[in-house]
Structure 1
Amino acid sequence: MMKKNTNLYRIPEKKEPVKDQKNKNALLYYAGFFAIVSSSGYAQVVNSGDVKIAPSTIMAVYMDYENAPTGDFVNDGNLYIFQNWKNDGLVTYTDSQNGSTFFNGSDDQFIEGTQVSNFKNTFFENVSSLVPFHLSGKIAVGGNSEFKKGVVLAGDYGGKVIFREKATHTLTSDLSFVDGQVEKDGLAAFEFPVGAGNYFRPSYHAAGTNEGDIYTTQYFNKNSNLIHSHDQRDEKILEINKNEYWEITKDQGANKIILSLTMDNRTTPAEYFNESDTYQVVITRWDSASGKWINEGGDISAPLAGKPYEKLLTAQVSGYGLFTMALVKKPTPEPEDVVIYNAISPNDDGLNDSFVIKGIDRFPDNQVEIYNRWGVKVYDAKSYNETDNMFRGYSDGRATIKRGDKLPTGTYFYILKYNTGNKVKERTGYLYINNQ
């Protein structure tokens, strides 16, 4: 895919710094500004030796760049790539704080190679088209990836964007995301920056328990019936979303995940936004063992401000594979043995200061878990009651939220499990915390 050029500049194999600044094409270590250009205005650079960009150093590449199998490329500074990038060697960084790679341009850019390009931070900004980045290789991000302008198309080429443990992303929107596979390594909760076409449609995964966990997600603005027939479904499922689905794989790990799917009125059917007296909206998953679509349950959040999508549909799912939304028959209501009040305002005024579950004292064999929007567990308690063991809007310190921190205003997701003596019941839903 990389364009072929008549002008070819090659960085020779060498394992020590080059001091002759006149031979810029042989430059391996540099402490100032380095721009590679050609007299004809366009060329290709091939590195088969060592390149190291030191902190506070800028290297700008105005032509196709290829890191050969023998090439070692270390970026602890600032690398600007204005054309195509190919990596068949080692691309990495050594500085824990520095190292940024900027994919900028006014022409489409092809990012390819047989080896993973390991970057600390990445920046995507290209104004040539809606989909200017064509990824057939693999990029790994250790810090942050800023999606400013331009969709990264990976699905058509078999490419992948990998986020290491604690890696993040910013500025994702309908204008910039990954159309293809995104992998997340580690246990941190994560919003997968995936979408398709003109739609940013992330999924949210809760925090895991093992740093070795690896999950991969891709969003499809297509009908999943083309892969697994919607006729093969649980008898209580009335209808399955024909417009979209997510494919989520567990590449490594053993966790059940708290999964949230985004709901967008441009792709999600209108009836999925308004539950009726006869049906409710749930997450459905294709279950290979039973050969049918099954009901994973789910609860719909309140409208989300400042997002390109409207709501989240959340459930603790029992497996992996293809996910979408479904309408299911509402079960016949059982007599309520507990009453859940799903809003608190912990301001110590004596009104709604805690999460009240009326009647839970009759079922001491119980557990309450509360998660934030990102799937991070902020509270976990057994033998929850109505007096001295209650959630009062503070983190219990068993997750990434610091113990004793007052939780911000927002919508949270709860899971209640309790033993009635005859069976273990589970209730889920959204809890609103108002700290204003």
Structure 2
Amino acid sequence: MDLQSNNTIQIKSYRLMKKSLLHISAFLLFTVGVMAQTSNEGMLYVSEGTKLSTLERFDNLSTGQFYNDGDVLIYSHFKNDGIVDFYQNTGLTRFIGSANQQLSGSKTSFLYNAFFDNTSSSVPFEILGTIDISGEANLFAGILDADNFGGEVIFNTDGYHVNTSNDSHVDGPVKKAGNKEFTFPIGDGGFYRQAGISAPANATALFEGKYFYENSNTMYPHNLRAGVIEEIDNQEYWTIEKQSAADENMLITLSWNESTTPQSMVEAAEQGALTIVRWNAETNMWVDEGGAIDLANNTVTTAVYGFGVVTLGRVKKDLILPCGLVIYNSVTPNNDGLNDTFLIDQSNNECAKNIKVQVFNRWGVKVFETNNYGVNGNVFSGYSSGRLTLNDSEHLPSGTYYYVIEYQYGPDAEKNFHKQAGYLYLSAN
């Protein structure tokens, strides 16, 4: 262990990045009891290239300041009631055990890289406190149970996870801060059942994801659903909650798995009838959010306006595209008269009304949006009208995009609403 003095320390926060000047004093470690329990009530700094191991319980007391830029191995319980943080983006904290490990404390533990390896039981990590990860979380072995112990796991802007599986994921809520796309490492009942979000527009964005391996019908009745929805997944659901103030237009992705997902939903994916449905608390019913189906990765993706409870649904086959709309999902804007624009064709021009179209790139950034699509030349021809790094009227690069179409249909159009999502292939050459 090395000491370091008079340094500028960057304190990580999932809501706000801030800097604080601290004068580092000597650290104080002591052991208590027959079994060596390590406690820190002063300043402890582990520098880059240095290892620190604690074989028994480690307590960072309320006066303790523990900064790790090196390699710390925790072989038993870990409790933080003070400051746990890092200076450089080099620190690795490894939780390795042969018996169940509790990660607790009243204060957030800010870690850069974290490694979890414990196979002592089916759920060896009991998360009672809050862990904030800014770098890599290597979920090598062992489920992190935050659901039954009241803790939470947070991933900062550049945080990510690897080796996530049925045997190693987070059972309980996971928060994601910042404006990067993210796949939540969530599961329940011994199954890893991820859900993803595209990159939010705002750097201050904060989302929380959680998976439930149970029937949502108990709390959110499946009989209360929009007419286009034939069936709702009765074995699983997710919650994706926006916990920041700014509005976000983005994509969410759900997955299906034959171990947890009803066979009817798996078959619906193969038939192009699988969709994402969301419980709309304002109308007290399930609504269809549409979905672009990816059979290769067992996922379905769509843009959403609201968040909350979501799951998979099967739409009625005869209403997959009401009004007989035909979507030509290839755009080659080379002025040859063929597929120069995103074409939506309907045999009955009086059927579909108020067609709204959105186009997103592969990172979930909205690059085009319009109401009354097709009216007075109002079409997508490969140019951006989006946000962030994309300038208005910027020619978009070739690649795969997502489209989302919404419209009212039929003689009673005000009551009939359809939303369709899919892939759009743009060739700029």
TM-score range, shorter chain: 0.7 to 0.9
State which of 69, 74, 95 in structure 2 corresponds to 1:81.
74
Q: In the alignment, which residue of structure 2 is the partner of 1:17?
A: 26
Q: Does 1:413 align with 2:399?
A: no
Q: Which residue identity lines up with residue 314 of structure 1 in the other structure?
A: T
What is the CA distance between 1:204 and its match in structure 2? 0.9
2:315 is aligned, of 328, 336, 340, to: 328
One-letter identity of the residue aligned with 1:369: V
Instruction: Tell whether the 8 Å contact from 1:378 to 1:399 is kept in structure 2 after alignment.
Output: no
- Unaligned residue ranges in structure 2 (runs of 5+): 1-22, 350-354
2:45 paired with 1:52: yes
CA contact 2:294–2:300 (8 Å) conserved in 1: no
- Counterpart residue number, 2:83: 90
Selected match of 2:261 from 252, 265, 268: 268
| Preserved contact between residue 250 and residue 365 of structure 2 (Cα < 8 Å) | no
1:240 maps to which residue? 232
For the Cα contact (< 8 Å) 1:366–1:419, is it kept in 2? no
For the residues of structure 2 that align with 1:345 and 1:379, how far apart are their CA atoms? 17
Q: Does the CA-based 8 Å contact 1:286-1:294 persist in structure 2?
A: yes
Closer, same or farther: CA 354–201 of 1 in aligned 2, 3 Å: farther
In 1: Cα distance, 2:156 partner to 2:321 partner: 45
Q: Quick one: structure 1 residues 277 and 169, their matched pair in 2 at CA, closer, same or farther if it must change by over 3 Å?
A: closer
Other-structure match for 1:103: 95
Matches of 2:42 and 2:269, distance apart in 1: 65
Q: What SS does the aligned partner of 1:83 have?
A: coil
Equivalent residue for 2:361, pick from 344, 347, 371: 371
Match 2:301 to one of 314, 331, 334:
314
**C-alpha distance in 1, partners of 2:396/2:93?**
35
Q: How has the CA–CA distance of structure 1 residues 237 and 425 changed in structure 2, closer, same or farther, with 3 Å as cutoff?
A: closer
1:273 aligned counterpart, secondary structure: helix
**Cα shift at 1:221:** 0.4
**CA distance in 2 between partners of 1:276 and 1:52 (Å):** 53
Give distance in 2, aligned partners of 1:171 and 1:407: 32
- 1:277: Cα distance to partner? 12
Which range moves more in the overlay, 252-261 or 219-228? 252-261
Give 3-state SS (helix, strand or coil) of 1:114's partner.
coil
Q: Which moved more, 1:314-323 or 1:194-203?
A: 314-323
- Provide the aligned length of Structure 1 versus Structure 2: 387
The alpha-carbon distance between structure 1 residues 121 and 419, as it changes in their structure 2 partners (threshold 3 A), is: same
Matched, 1:123 2:111: no
Given that 1:147 and 1:176 are in contact with CA atoms closer than 8 Å, whether structure 2 keeps it comes out as yes
When residues 355 and 163 of structure 1 are mapped into structure 2, their CA distance, relative to the original with a 3 A threshold, is farther
Mapped to 2, the partners of 1:203 and 1:87 lie a distance apart of 30
For residues 310 and 418 of structure 2, what CA distance do their matches in structure 1 show? 24
Contact 2:273/2:320 (CA < 8 Å) preserved in 1? no
CA offset at residue 407 of structure 1? 7.0
Name structure 1 gaps, 5 residues minimum.
Answer: 1-13, 19-23, 27-36, 306-310
Q: Aligned partners of 2:93, 2:138: CA distance in 1, in Å?
A: 10
Q: Which residue of 2 aligns with 1:155?
A: 147
Separation in 2, partners of 1:431, 1:164: 31
What code does the residue aligned with 1:319 have? G
Alignment partners' CA distance in 1, 2:329 and 2:388: 22
Name 1:204's counterpart in structure 2: 196
The whole-number CA distance in structure 2 between the counterparts of 1:415 and 1:273 is 22
Partners of 1:173 and 1:277 lie apart in 2 by 25
Q: What's the counterpart of residue 176 of structure 1?
A: 168
Identity over aligned pairs, percent? 29
The aligned residue for residue 18 of structure 2 is: none
Counterparts of 1:83 and 1:101 in 2: how far apart (Å)? 13
Distance 2:398 2:321 in 1: 33
Shift of 1:135: 0.5
1:124 is paired with a residue whose SS is strand
Question: What amino acid is aligned across from residue 315 of structure 2 in structure 1?
Answer: V
Structure 1 pair 433/180, CA: closer, same or farther in 2 (3 Å)? farther
Q: How far apart are the structure 1 equivalents of 2:274 and 2:199?
A: 24
Provide the residue aligned with 1:32 in structure 2. Answer: none
Amino acid at match of 1:105: G
State the alpha-carbon separation in 1 of the partners of residues 66 and 289 from structure 2.
48
Once the two structures are TM-superposed, the CA of residue 377 in structure 1 deviates from its matched residue by 2.5
Given that residues 114 and 133 in structure 2 are in contact (C-alpha distance below 8 angstroms), is that contact kept between their aligned partners in structure 1?
yes
Structure 1 position 398, deviation (Å): 5.9
Indicate if the aligned counterparts of 2:322 and 2:418 stay in contact, CA closer than 8 A: no
CA distance in structure 2 between the partners assigned to 1:182 and 1:243 by the alignment: 21
Deviation, structure 1 residue 141:
0.6
- Cα distance in 1 for residues equivalent to 2:193 and 2:25: 47
SS of 1:255's equivalent in the other structure is coil
Inter-partner Cα distance in structure 2 for 1:200 and 1:343: 35
Task: Give the Cα separation in 2 of the matches to 1:60 and 1:152.
Answer: 21
Supply the AA of the counterpart residue of 2:280: D
| Structure 1 counterpart SS, 2:294 | coil
- Partners of 1:273 and 1:228 lie apart in 2 by 22
CA distance in 1, matches of 2:408, 2:221: 37
Q: Is the 8 A contact 1:296 1:318 kept in 2?
A: no
- Corresponding position: 1:357 with 2:343: yes
Tell me by how many angstroms 1:301 deviates.
2.0
Q: Does structure 2 conserve the Cα–Cα contact (< 8 Å) formed by 1:163 and 1:185?
A: yes
Q: CA deviation at 1:130?
A: 2.9
